[in-house]
Amino acid sequence: MSDDKINPSHYRGFSNGAEVIDIAERLNFNRGSAIKYLARAGRKQGEATIEDLKKARWYIDREINRIIADGKEVPAGTEAT
């Protein structure tokens, strides 16, 4: 099965036509990376679902630690994107 190396199928397939990159580019690096791994979990041939979920968790934990270290926790809906 040949797959597009730039736009592989495990990053496509949202019902509204969006691609993971469309979502990830609107977020910071940690959040975008977590979304990337969550979206492809269980969809990338040869990759274990749990490994992708662990990678997503690593970026989520990193983002949480960054927010805590910055001391800039703000109520949802008031964050700049």
Please write the tens of the pLDDT for every residue from 13-65.
666 777 888 889 999 999 999 999 999 999 888 889 999 999 999 999 999 99
Mean pLDDT, residues 4-18: 65
At residue 7, the pLDDT reads 64
pLDDT, residue 47, reads: 83
18-41 b/e (C-beta count within 10 Å ≥ 16 → b)? eebbeebeeeeebbbbbbbbbbbb
Percent of the chain clearing pLDDT 90 (strictly above): 48
Q: What is the pLDDT of residue 63?
A: 96
The answer, yes or no, to whether residue 1 has pLDDT greater than 80, is no
pTM given for the model: 0.71
Q: Between the CA of residue 74 and those of 2, 38, 71, what are the distances in Å?
A: 45, 25, 9
